[in-house]
Amino acid sequence: MVKLSTPFTDQKPGTSGLRKSSKHFEQPHYLESFLEAIFRTLPGVKGGTLIVGGDGRYGNCRAIDIILRMASAHGVSKVITTVNGILSTPAASNLIRKHKAIGGIILSASHNPGGPEGDFGVKLNAANGGPASESLTNDIYTCTLNLDEYKIVENSEISLESPGRHFISSMIVEVIDGVEDYLYLMQKLFDFDQISAFINKDFPIAFDALNAVTGPYASRLFEGLLGSPLGTVRNGLPKEDFGGCHPDPNLTYANELAELLLEGTNYSFGAACDGDGDRNMILGRGCFVNPSDSLAVLVANAHCAPAYKDGLAGVARSMPTSAAVDLVARDLGIDCFETPTGWKFFGNLLDTGKITICGEESFGTGSNHVREKDGLWAVLFWLQILASKQCTVDHLMSQHWSNYGRHYYSRHDYEEIPTEIANGIYNNIEKKMPALIGNSFADSSIIFADNFSYNDPVDGSITDKQGLRLILEDGSRLILRLSGTGTKGATLRVYLERYVSVHGKLNQNPQLALRGLIQDIDLMAEISHRTGMNRPTVIT
């Protein structure tokens, strides 16, 4: 038992658990306090099995050592962890489900930079394999507020260098290979022979692991099982600081890969995943696939993959994700749900079989095979569709747009804004909203404005204040949200969407197609005026 003089009061979990700078986590007893609250709150701890691993960033192995000793002190009967502590978020979700564990602790700050100067995070997943519910994370937070001690046993650090079985008092520690089970699952979902024949004929691919967790998975997947040449996987060794890079697969941070595909001719397909392996970016030669379109294309062509050949129960997208998938769902005659931002909102829909596939505009797509978004799954799914149709990314996109029309879409992020300024912009628009109805905007006029609220169709819970929506007469949508995952200041996200039917101009540059909306939202929300920034930090 270790006594705490004062409890930490800043441990309010955000969208994916607790995320702070590495330095913040290094304060004495900080990590332990949060873990103590988890062990006191998570159902089934005594006698239960727990899955533990992370994305390999600085602090990963230290945290695993502390978790093991605290788990033993709390009466956990078995912890399954992985060689070198390497475990991607979707692979962790799979292990939780496979071993009927009480949950999992994933050490990652997702796509945020790592290292002593970067960020660290602790994510808690529940027994269904998905992110802990809001009520569980709130209970954990409440518990942190009054902590005066935590339980931990003394034990010399267990080596994670190779698979093996160890004991801490009576608790079993099983160190397993964190890659194998995941690859086995992928082989059940997709036709590896068909994909392999396609990519090895005349369709060279490049995968960028951004020095993060997917490296070992991707090497064994592409260069091993699928027979791609060595070198297909770039930056494939997980590094504690991700080699100084920002492990976020978008055009800004995965720019090396983007250049290879958008400007070069050596590759026909490119993909990248984020720090913990749940996000994906898809590129074709000279062509970037917007994540909202990616979701729509996967749904429209799901029958190409063995796992989904019998059709889909339904689909879901987060509110700021474009409505491209809605049109496909309508066409297929299946339900399409609109949820708040954050993967946890898909959990109930997946658990009750209401949906099979879901996704977010933030480079996240997934299905009922696990309860997390899954980067490599999305990459394989794309390759499966291309292999089955024997076509290029560019061709598939053009075909999709000529069937359904095109949702021009972009997200503009303004990062590290002082919190008062970000709140000022947001509150100002929210206050003005009722008076905006009927006002002209870009080439149309505003017909609807609200702060999005979600009524969960499974448990009836209501989650409100999830982002400001402005909907125009021509179907365009503008959404403003404040990020829940940043660690420095505030991040304002502006989502822009404009639909052009099959009869319109389908091959414009999105930033040009959205120019009117971009200009008018800046004027209305006074973004550049109030932030002093004349352009967003990241444009996707």
Residue ranges in contact with Zn ion by CB under 5 A? 110, 274, 276, 278
Residues 216-223: contacts with CB under 8 Å, at least 24 apart: 216/86, 216/178, 216/179, 217/88, 217/91, 217/179, 217/182, 217/183, 217/277, 217/376, 218/273, 218/376, 220/179, 220/183, 221/183, 221/186, 221/376, 221/380
Q: Interacting stretch for ligand G1P, rule CB under 6 A, among 18-26, 255-263, 298-306, 479-487?
A: 479-487
Rounded least distance, CB 363 to ligand G1P, Å: 8
**Angle, CA of 109, 274 and 406, to the nearest 5°:** 125
DSSP lists the bridge partners of residue 168 as 171
Q: Please, which residue, 33 or 321, has the CB nearer to ligand G1P?
A: 321
Closest CA to 227 of 245, 201, 250, 255: 201
- As a whole number of angstroms, the distance between CA 490 and CA 534 comes to 17
| Stretch 375-414: interaction string toward ligand G1P, x if CB under 6 A | ----------------------------------------
Q: Which does 354 bind (CB under 5 to 8 A by kind): Zn ion, ligand G1P, none?
A: none
Q: Which does 375 bind (CB under 5 to 8 A by kind): Zn ion, ligand G1P, none?
A: none
- Looking up tokens 């992985």 gives 82
Q: Please, which residue, 215 or 366, has the CB nearer to ligand G1P?
A: 366
- As a whole number of angstroms, the distance between CA 189 and CA 369 comes to 8
444 SS3 class:
strand
Strand locations in 266-399, DSSP E?
269-273, 280-284, 287-289, 314-318, 335-339, 357-360, 364-367
DSSP lists the bridge partners of residue 104 as 51, 125
Q: Please, which residue, 48 or 130, has the CB nearer to Zn ion?
A: 130
Sole binder of ligand G1P in the list 4, 15, 99, 445 (CB under 6 A) = 15
Sole binder of ligand G1P in the list 22, 60, 110, 280 (CB under 6 A) = 110
- Number of residues in contact with ligand G1P under rule CB under 6 A: 14
Q: Which does 493 bind (CB under 5 to 8 A by kind): Zn ion, ligand G1P, none?
A: ligand G1P
Rounded least distance, CB 385 to ligand G1P, Å: 23
485 near ligand G1P, rule: CB under 6 A = yes
Q: Are 48 and 76 in contact (CB under 8 A)?
A: yes
| Token pair in block for residue 390 | 């024997």
Residue from 33, 72, 110, 476 carrying the catalytic annotation: 110
469 near ligand G1P, rule: CB under 6 A = no
What is the footprint of ligand G1P within residues 312-351 (CB under 6 A)?
A: 318, 341-343
Rounded least distance, CB 275 to ligand G1P, Å: 10
362 near ligand G1P, rule: CB under 6 A = yes
Element (H, E) at 420: helix 419-436
Residue 10: CB partners within 8 Å, gap ≥ 6? Answer: 20
Entry field: residues in the chain: 540
Q: Please, which residue, 160 or 496, has the CB nearer to ligand G1P?
A: 496
Q: Which does 276 bind (CB under 5 to 8 A by kind): Zn ion, ligand G1P, none?
A: Zn ion
162 is catalytic: no
Catalytically active residues are 110
Q: Which residues bind ligand G1P (CB under 6 A)?
A: 15-16, 110, 318, 341-343, 360, 362, 364, 483-485, 493
